[in-house]
């Protein structure tokens, strides 16, 4: 079992925390050309290699996907910041404004259960901004998700399934699993997912209809589990 980082926007982090998001679609890079991919009768994919990627034909065939294989873990990178919480060093997360004390992470505790300020992981970070001031926009700056180190991640996911499909083939039920719409409302959710996709990937990215990895997951750590 391996661990890999994965980036999510603040709204998608919120959806994961609220147990509304259990899927993510990521563009396959590079894109297969022509009829590289074909579907068989039971919905599985025929194995075809292209630029080092191998798509699954049967369950016991390795899946060469940049996000891993079934059973692997993904640690979530999200918008965050280091803060001062009433004199204690802490971490703030933009998605839901949660603030956690670094000492709660046992790997930072010394033999007395106190924070080990000499831990080299803390050396490059400043904990000067007050937590309340950051959350209220008075001082401090949020750090981009790409700069989140492993130790600051609060959400761990386990891959439960991986498949490949065209972006526009997403079903209404899968739009819900992507964290879009409400199961109570019976309106069409696909346009909402299209808007979300283009907001993240740019104009015309939906019209391009790329092949995508469909990664299904469950929460191992963090969220409403």
The 10s digit of each residue's pLDDT in 78-122 is: 999 999 999 999 999 999 999 999 999 999 998 888 999 999 999
The domain boundary, picked from 88, 114, 145, lies at: 145
Range of the domain at 162: 3-75+155-221
**Cβ atoms of residues 22 and 180 within 8 Å:** no
Q: What CATH number has the domain bearing residue 171?
A: 2.30.130.30
Same domain, yes or no: 161 and 65: yes
The domain boundary, picked from 93, 121, 145, lies at: 145
User: Is residue 150 included in any domain, yes or no?
Assistant: no
User: Is residue 85 included in any domain, yes or no?
Assistant: yes
Same domain, yes or no: 124 and 167: no
CA 97 to CA 68: how far, in whole Å? 30
Q: How many domains does the chain have?
A: 2
User: Is residue 167 included in any domain, yes or no?
Assistant: yes
Predicted confidence pLDDT, tens digits, the chain (225 residues): 899 999 999 999 999 999 999 999 999 887 765 544 444 333 344 444 443 444 544 344 444 789 998 999 999 999 999 999 999 999 999 999 999 999 999 999 988 889 999 999 999 999 999 999 999 999 999 999 999 999 999 999 999 999 889 999 999 999 999 999 777 767 789 999 999 999 999 999 999 999 999 999 999 987 653
Integer distance in angstroms from the first to the last C-alpha of the chain? 21
Residues 6+ apart with CB under 8 A from 179: 11, 12, 15, 16, 20, 21
User: Is residue 176 included in any domain, yes or no?
Assistant: yes
The DSSP element (H or E) to which 162 belongs, if any, is: strand 156-166
Same domain, yes or no: 125 and 171: no
Output the pTM of the full model. Answer: 0.84
Same domain, yes or no: 8 and 47: yes
Same domain, yes or no: 65 and 108: no
CA 186 to CA 212: how far, in whole Å? 26
* Per-residue pLDDT at 219: 97
The domain boundary, picked from 145, 179, 202, lies at: 145
Same domain, yes or no: 71 and 124: no
* Per-residue pLDDT at 136: 96
**Cβ atoms of residues 133 and 139 within 8 Å:** yes
């Amino acid at each position: 079992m391996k661990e890999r980082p994965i980036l999510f926007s603040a709204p998608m982090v919120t959806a994961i925390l609220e147990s509304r998001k259990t899927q993510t679609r990521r563009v396959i890079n590079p894109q297969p050309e022509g009829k590289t991919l074909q579907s068989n009768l039971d919905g599985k994919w025929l194995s075809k290699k292209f630029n080092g990627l191998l798509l699954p034909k049967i369950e016991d065939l390795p899946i060469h996907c940049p996000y891993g294989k079934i059973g692997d873990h993904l640690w979530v990178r999200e918008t965050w910041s280091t803060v001062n919480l009433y004199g204690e060093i802490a971490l703030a997360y933009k998605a839901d404004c949660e603030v956690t004390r670094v000492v709660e992470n046992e790997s930072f505790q010394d033999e007395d259960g106190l924070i080990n300020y000499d831990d080299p992981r803390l050396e490059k970070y400043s904990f000067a901004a007050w937590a309340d001031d950051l959350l209220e926009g008075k001082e401090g700056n949020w750090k981009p998700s790409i700069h989140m180190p492993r130790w600051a991640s609060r959400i761990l996911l386990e891959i439960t399934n991986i498949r490949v499909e065209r972006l526009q083939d997403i079903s209404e039920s899968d739009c819900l699993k992507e964290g879009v719409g409400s199961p109570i409302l019976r309106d069409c959710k696909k346009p909402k997912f299209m808007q979300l996709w283009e907001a993240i990937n740019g104009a015309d990215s939906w019209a391009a209809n790329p092949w995508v990895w469909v990664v299904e997951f469950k929460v191992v750590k963090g969220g409403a589990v």
